[in-house]
Amino acid sequence: MYLDDDGRIDILSLTLEELTAEILKMNEKAFRAKQIYSWLHVKRVTDFSQMSDISAQLRDELGRKFCIKSLFIVKRLESKRDNTVKYLYRLSDGNHIETVLMEYEHGNTVCVSTQVGCKMGCRFCASTIAGYKRDLAPSEILSQIYTAERDSGRAIGGVVLMGIGEPLDNYDNVIRFLELLSSKEGMNMSLRHVSLSTCGLVPKIYELAKLKLGVTLSISLHASDNKSRSEIMPVNDRYDINELLTACREYFKQTGRRISFEYALINGHNDSYEDAKRLAKLLGDFVCHINIIPVNKIKERNFTSDRKSAQRFRGYLEQLGLNATVRRTLGADIDAACGQLRREYEI
């Protein structure tokens, strides 16, 4: 159970089955749970008083037993170039997280955070610098989408778990979030429209594979050999490239979903033709896609890259027969890459 400081249950984190069990305990009929679930996940009210087909007495009781966690928009930055919107939200305990709403030809996608901060310590990543505070509850991941949808008035058709935090380090809450997101009585999103990005927590990749959820797995690879990967990603000392790719093969075997490999290009570190050749050797027999991302500058580090070197590296990979694209840069004028905004507010 997810409780707030007053011992009330975080109702948005409950599945319909769990909510039904709670409502039955209150001597109410099961259909009430369905009504309430719909108020929360379809009409998206933020207060029990708005549930107009529920009696005032039951609404009072609900308010004593449950809380509806909501997010407060502290800052909203909208890109003038491509309609990307970046939100800085405050959570009920005063912590901050970031969410980005992106517009693609095929629809709107939201990039959500899964933790307040991150423990993984990737050297180029702003999210890790301000340190790890806590995991997000399922409701807090879901509310990022509901709040962005309500605020922007844009329908959201896809979700990427690529914001602040390592989703597989908050595994149970993320799985429950996916269950709520895809619930027929709720947002009803197909999990084929969801991508989960991980730095490579191998045992959790195997667990996720077994669930066969249809989620696209996105692997933050960023290097073609263990030495250079360990230099920028400490997680590589726990699970090296070989173990990671073995887990990815199993994920593909179990789910049939093509894997996406992220490769943040850093000038002078991982951008040579030799790197491309090693990458081709590693990934040559994979059903996969490689996404090259010119590394985003963060204030605290002097890693650099640009679209030109990313295009050159893509050319190398193509020559070697690999399927790669350079990721479109969205929201460049509002610093839409994650982690920066939260830092300013946490210190």
* Residues tagged active-site: 98, 338
Looking at beta carbons only, is 120 or 137 nearer to ligand SAH?
A: 120
Largest Cα–Cα separation, the chain: 70
For residues 162 and 205, which CB has a smaller minimum distance to ligand SAH in the complex? 162
CA separation (Å) from 141 to 20, 101, 165, 193, 340? 22, 14, 11, 16, 19
In angstroms, give the least distance from the CB of 159 to ligand SAH: 13
Residues 6 or more apart whose CB falls under 8 angstroms from that of 338 comprise 98, 100, 111, 113, 126, 127, 162, 163, 164
| Both tokens assigned to 305 | 């890259």
Q: Which amino acid is at 44?
A: R
> Among residues 108 and 291, whose Cβ is nearest to ligand SAH?
291
To ligand SAH, the closest distance from the beta carbon of 297 in angstroms equals 7
Cβ atoms of 89 and 99 closer than 8 Å:
yes
Is the CB of 173 or the CB of 198 nearer to ligand SAH? 198
User: Which CB, 262 or 271, lies closer to ligand SAH?
Assistant: 262
We find the least distance from the C-beta atom of residue 30 to ligand SAH, in angstroms, to be: 38
Report residue 216 as tokens. Answer: 């696209």
Count of positions (residues) in the chain: 347
Helix boundaries (H) for the chain: 16-25, 30-41, 56-65, 126-129, 138-152, 171-181, 202-211, 226-232, 241-255, 273-283, 307-319, 340-346
In the complex, what is the shortest distance from the CB of residue 166 to ligand SAH, in angstroms, rounded to a whole number? 4
Question: What's the start-to-end Cα distance of the chain, in Å?
Answer: 31
Binding site for ligand SAH (CB under 6 A): 120, 122, 124-125, 162, 166, 197-199, 220, 262, 264, 293, 295-296, 298, 337
Which CB atom, from 20 or from 115, has the smaller least distance to ligand SAH? 115
Check residue 188 and give left, alpha or beta (phi > 0: left; psi -120 to 50: alpha): left
Which residues have CB under 8 Å from 331's CB, separation 6+?
77, 79, 81, 82, 84, 85, 86, 100, 102
Question: 103, 100, 93: which is closest to 75 by C-alpha?
Answer: 100
